[in-house]
Amino acid sequence: MKKSENLKKLIFYIISSAIAVIMVMPFIWSLLTSIKPDTEIFRIPLQWLPSTITFDQYIEAFESVPFARYLFNSLYLAVMGVFFNLLFGSMSGYAFAKLKFKGRKVIFAVLLAAMMIPGVVVMIPQYIVLNNMPLMGGNDIFGQGGHGLLNNFWAVILPGAAGSFAVFFMRQFFLTLPDEYMESARIDGCSEFRIYWNLYLPLTKPALATLGIFTFQAGWNSFLWPLIVLNDRSLYTVQIGLQAFTFDKQTAYGPMMAATIIIILPIIALFMYLQKYFIDGANFSGIKS
């Protein structure tokens, strides 16, 4: 009995370690690449460790490409995404969970159904809507003449500002909170908005944290939509900016790996600190459908 238990343990550690190496090795390999001088990056047979640690690749990454700008843009877009989704998501999530109003069920069902619609079908129309946004970017009142909100950060922020997922997620959480607070606050003459803002919202901190991290990660990592609507180089995000290290089939691997490490690092650091919230979010997205 003891023997088979030990054998099981051994097999477990062998398989798990092998998979763990596969999962983590790409990160370690890029990290090592990013601190090597060029001559050691391109070497056969490969050299695992740098003879001296150099930060030249990082300096090069920031000098050859306006990478600091891209970092700022990505951070700004991700933070704005978090802000609006938490605000609008909790506002409507609260209304759907706690308030009675005409059309509540129908509107909520429609919002939920929209989660099933794949993004690709609205990709082109959303682009046209942004292009024809009235009175924006040189457009007249009928949305003609200019380029609307295209090439503007709002083109990324607005379409994702009140995701159905955020609404659904917050509603589920508000449903778990008791109605009694609301009832007694009403008797005390508290306004509906203050009941939401001062009484219930502070109770949803764990949900807000989970949703916030989920939204930040999605915003920071998003690629296709910013690629479509942001054409101006000064508006590029880090994910688009990474392409800038490939010039005419010549790839500057050193600086590119340095840049990749810089992009991955904040998310991994966030993950290490706030694992629980990441896992909660992943779990919820599994339950949702």
Partner 1 sequence: MKLNKINSAHESSLSLGTVPKKSSFNRYQSRAAYFLIAPTLILFVVFMVIPIGMAIFLSFTNYDIISSMEFVGLDNFKRLIDDAILWQTFRNVGVLTLFFVPLMIIISLLLAVLVTQPFRGVTLFRLAFYIPTVTSAVAASIVWLWMLNSEYGLINQMLSYVGIAGPAWLSESGPAMASVIAVTLWLGVGGNMIIYMAGIKGIPTQLYEAARIDGASSFKQLIYITFPMLRPTTLLVSTMTIIGALQIFDQAYVLTQGGPANSTKTIVYHIYTTGFEQLQMGYASAQALVLTITILIFTAINFKINHSKDQ
By CB under 8 A, the residues from 31 to 70 that bind partner 1 are: 33, 41-46
| Interface of this chain with partner 1, residues 123 to 152, rule: CB under 8 A | 123-129, 131
Q: Is 251 helix (H, G, I), strand (E, B) or coil?
A: strand
Under rule CB under 8 A, residue 247 binds partner 1: no
Among 67, 70, 96, 168, binds partner 1 (CB under 8 A): 96
109 binds partner 1 (CB under 8 A): no
Q: Pick the binder of partner 1 from 91, 177, 190, 203 (CB under 8 A).
A: 91
Instruction: Report long-range pairs for 270-279 (Cβ below 8 Å, ≥24 apart).
Output: 270/213, 270/216, 270/217, 274/209, 274/213, 277/206, 277/209, 277/210, 277/213, 277/214, 278/213, 278/214, 278/217
CA distance 165 to 211: 9
We find the least distance from the C-beta atom of residue 89 to partner 1, in angstroms, to be 8
For the CB of residue 153, give the shortest distance to partner 1 in the complex, in Å.
15
Candidate residues 50, 54, 146, 192; the one interacting with partner 1 per rule CB under 8 A: 192
Does residue 209 bind partner 1 (CB under 8 A)? no
What's the gap between Cα 127 and its chain centre?
21
CB 277 within 8 A of CB 211: no
Q: Where are the beta strands (DSSP E) in the chain?
A: 246-247, 250-251
Residues in region 9-28 near partner 1 by CB under 8 A? 9, 12-13, 15-16, 19-20, 22-27
- Distance (Å, rounded) from C-alpha 139 to C-alpha 76? 25
Single out the residue of 53, 114, 135, 175 in contact with partner 1 (rule: CB under 8 A): 114
Nearest approach in angstroms of CB 125 to partner 1 is: 3
